[in-house]
Structure 1
Amino acid sequence: MRTWGPLTAVSLGTFMLLLDVTIVVVALPDMARALGASLGDLQWVIDGYALALAALLLGVGAAADVLGRRRLNIIGTALFAVASLGCGLASDAQLLVAARAVQGLGAAAMFATTLPLLGAAYQGRDRSVALGVWGAVSGASAALGPIVGGVLTEGPGWRWIFFVNLPVSVASIWLTLRVVPESKGPAGRRIDWAGTAAFAGFAGAGTYGVLRGGTHGWTSTTATAAFVVSALALLCFVLVERRVSQPLLDLRLLRKPAFTGVLVGAIGYNAAAFGVIPYFSIWLQTVLGMSPVRGSLVLLPLAGTSFLVAAVGGRFLHGVAPRLVIGVGLLLIGAGGLCMAVLDAGSSWPSLIPGLTVSGIGTGLVAPALAGAALASVPPANAGTAGGAVNTFRQLGYAVGVALFGTVLTSRMQESLGHDAAHTAAGGGAAALHGTVPADAVRSAFAAGLNTTSLTAGAAGLVAGVLVLVMVRTPKEKTVPVTVTAAPERAPRVEEHVR
């Protein structure tokens, strides 16, 4: 490498924003106690960030091409830092959720500009090295999130999972200003504001409908209205994208089964692999009585196996069709979910190890291959759109998974505990039920709920795996090797923004 400065600056920001996707998982019980948060509040603490990141990623990437990628990256990092301070100082759950959404906006500006900045700063072999390191950092951040969150929550307190972003943000901005060159997209680029707003409305209203449906019933006025708004927003998005000259997402690409199959795989991957993890974390801490650190270490089989498989898999799977790697990986994630559906009132954390390990193997296969498969399924001119769409649908899958699986969990629990007690226990308030609900009944109900949730997640992984194996068939699949990074490093035009 000629210089490590730009790579260090970009990777620092990437590590921080992706860490915050999962860092809150282990802190949820402490947040619930400190803020009096309900299950719905806790779900929005996760989904507010993931949804903002997913819904705005494509639009912000287009804005970066017009306004300057380094400039928008710095603005995004500064906004992320201010929002992190707001999260740490939040006095109630509503303020925390709002600050998390603003955090997601800043993260979208950071994430959308990372690859274009690296593409402008490095050429040739240096670019390949830079993208490889960036991919490794991306994978490590998601894996380390729960562990870092557990250490900070048990140490200085849960608010420090947000305060720690402040010095890192300052360092990232300072380094970016010093060593990262400015770059822009082709002249004449326009921002599709209408498409951005419509997609954000579709994603946000749909997720809100799932959350409200689980709490108040699927036919309740609120849930029905949310789903109607989501459907209308999706219709508006389609109409806008068909008419604008520079759409966020070229809808003609969706006619390609291979590309659509990759997007299905991206949604299924993040939903099935990670959507149920927050509820296992709540069970480990509030029902089994584990500390945040011990609770986070239980998840090591998933994180460690995933990282190991991703690191060594590229060498042994070189030249294997991406659809096979992704499809088999999703099937393993689905199988892992089924393996975790073995809990009862007397179960403890070792019951999760086989399922987490199998899911970790699948995760290590899927994550590095998704971007390459998306790029292989579209013409080179659409490489930027393909990469951005995969990142968007991954985050959307996580947000929807958290919302949907929370609904499944509470629906199953309330069969034996009743509505109020089920939502209290699922939201981290099992201790508040002492004296009114027998502890064994809570353990039994939570275990039954997690079993049903794991079965649902497992089924989602299996269905996604089958669809990928059936749909992702392209002439290029024999020539596109599986890489060990999550970055689209083989894109012919990696210097374009990831839209």
Structure 2
Amino acid sequence: MRKWWPLLAVCAGSFLFLLDTTVVTVALPRIGADLTATVGQLQWVPDVYTLVLAVLMLAAGSLADRWGVRRVFLAGLAVFATASLGCGLAPDIGTLIAARGVQAIGGAALAVTGFAVLAATYEGRSRGTAISVFFAVNGLGAAMGPVVGGVLTEYFGWPAIFFVNVPLALLTAVFTVFAIRRDTPARRGRFDLAGAVWFAVAAASLVHGLTLGGEGRWTSPVTVGALVVSVVAFAGFGLAERRPDPLLDLRLFRDREFTTLVVCAAASTLTFAALVYVSLWLQTDRALGPVAAGLALAPLAGASFLTSTVLGKVLHRFPPRVLLGVGVLLGAVGSLLQLGFTVTGGLAVTGIGVGIAGPAMGTAVAAAAPPGRAGMAAGILTTTRQFGQTLGVAVLGIAYQAGGLTPVYVVAAVCGGVTGLLALVPRKQVQVPA
């Protein structure tokens, strides 16, 4: 049993930060009423969290390789708990958004180091089992957010969704001290500060521009300026990463298999991005309370958890590319079912797809990671997923404001279908430079 203690510690930390990616979805109407916030301001409550996660995960992975994953994991828990307390005590929407951003700094450390611990601790069939359980808990945490958030919001008030993180984070930290052994840094050298800054500016500018555009301000000088800054910053990031020992080794993307993996990781996050608007629709158009809205989304959580748990036993028998394609395609089918037939059935099918695609992505990235780069590999996977979800919330927000849930489902289905078919096309084996 002691063999699986690191897995338990990692799953506890990952469950916390992923729960908070979706736990606020059903609480947004109450938050808006209590803090007198507009729809645009409310969108930043989930958006700033996923944006900061996406911006910092590459940097967190690099720091984990240099400082040690255990140290970064514990630091992440401390920041996450402190910021959660600040979220619950926030007197206005601006303070809440700022505290959510700080909370995501701790979440970035938890996301990257958790996966890196598994990649470094387990091998062979044990690694497949560990990664499947890890992604099962991840899917459960993200998908259970609306249920947990609904119960806490309705019976204890929306601050409770943040206060509950404090004791849970402290307990996880105590268990981590005993479960995960001290490790030595896997790499030396200078931290790529220039690359981290360029990427942060590029990502933040892009999401800010899309968010403003979604509010109908495409011709605004601020919107145009943000998108221009994003293009320039991404170019600067590409030039900065040509230095030795970069934050992100761009040679990885010469491999079409690896590029397909990254695209699939981004596409799979549209499922959770859509939950923001499904929850708003259930509470505004269908007049459901927070608990009822959360329970309506529960089939996705259950299907994802069961699928990932079972998949660990057979994961090694199938190429990750095939599992990825099938998983993302099922997500697209689930979106179509929600569009025209049944929300419950569609969510269940989508959950099965999430449960298939997640472990497949984790196994492929863990196998591709060169020695001493487990943090970088984890950073690539987690950054892609979180950045994809952040962009997904912004893009689907445009669709939602244009025509409600129908265009949201259409966009999710088209993106998932095209990406899933792309993943099924045979390509050469992943070769990651050392």
Task: Give the TM-score normalised by the residue count of structure 1.
Answer: 0.80
* Correspondence for 2:334 among 318, 321, 336: 336
What is aligned with 1:228?
Answer: 228
* Correspondence for 2:410 among 446, 455, 460: 455
Residues 74-114 of structure 1: CA distance to partner in whole angstroms, max 9, x if unpaired? 22211111110111111221111111111111111222222
What is aligned with 1:295?
Answer: 293
Letter in 1 for 2:139: G
1:161 to partner: Cα distance: 0.6
Matched position secondary structure for 2:173 = helix
Q: Are residue 398 (structure 1) and residue 352 (structure 2) matched? A: no
Comparing 106-115 with 195-204, which one deviates more in the overlay? 106-115
Q: Are residue 407 (structure 1) and residue 398 (structure 2) matched? A: yes
User: In 2, Cα distance between the equivalents of 1:328 and 1:68?
Assistant: 35
What is aligned with 2:142?
Answer: 142
Change in Cα spacing, 1:366 to 1:167, as seen in structure 2 (3 Å) is: same
2:132–2:311 contact (8 Å) kept in structure 1: no
Residues 225-274 of structure 1: CA distance to partner in whole angstroms, max 9, x if unpaired? 110111111011100001x2111211111111101111110111102x12
What is aligned with 1:194?
Answer: 194
Residues 437-492 of structure 1: CA distance to partner in whole angstroms, max 9, x if unpaired? xxxxxxxxxxxx2111111111111121122223x623479xxxxxxxxxxxxx9x
1:154 to partner: Cα distance: 1.2
Change in Cα spacing, 1:463 to 1:118, as seen in structure 2 (3 Å) is: closer
User: In 2, Cα distance between the equivalents of 1:379 and 1:169?
Assistant: 31
1:64–1:184 contact (8 Å) kept in structure 2: no
Comparing 451-460 with 56-65, which one deviates more in the overlay? 56-65
1:372 to partner: Cα distance: 2.2
What is aligned with 1:265?
Answer: 264
1:173 to partner: Cα distance: 2.4
Identical counterparts, % of pairs: 44
Residues 107-143 of structure 1: CA distance to partner in whole angstroms, max 9, x if unpaired? 1122222244456667888777655544443232223
What is aligned with 1:354?
Answer: 345
What is aligned with 1:219?
Answer: 219
2:26–2:150 contact (8 Å) kept in structure 1: yes
1:334–1:460 contact (8 Å) kept in structure 2: yes
Matches within 5 A, 1:54-453: 54-117=54-117, 131=131, 133-242=133-242, 244-271=243-270, 273-315=271-313, 318-342=316-340, 351-375=342-366, 384-412=375-403, 449-453=404-408
Residues 274-333 of structure 1: CA distance to partner in whole angstroms, max 9, x if unpaired? 211111111111221111111111112222222222222344565222222211221221
What is aligned with 1:469?
Answer: 424
Change in Cα spacing, 1:79 to 1:351, as seen in structure 2 (3 Å) is: same
Matched position secondary structure for 2:362 = helix
Change in Cα spacing, 1:189 to 1:314, as seen in structure 2 (3 Å) is: same
User: In 1, Cα distance between the equivalents of 2:63 and 2:20?
Assistant: 23
Unaligned runs of 5+ in 1: 343-349, 413-448, 478-490, 494-499
For this pair of structures, how many residues does the alignment match?
Answer: 433
CA RMSD of aligned residues (A): 2.6
1:28–1:42 contact (8 Å) kept in structure 2: yes
1:379 to partner: Cα distance: 6.2
Letter in 1 for 2:19: L
Letter in 2 for 1:333: G
Comparing 353-362 with 3-12, which one deviates more in the overlay? 3-12
1:258–1:377 contact (8 Å) kept in structure 2: no
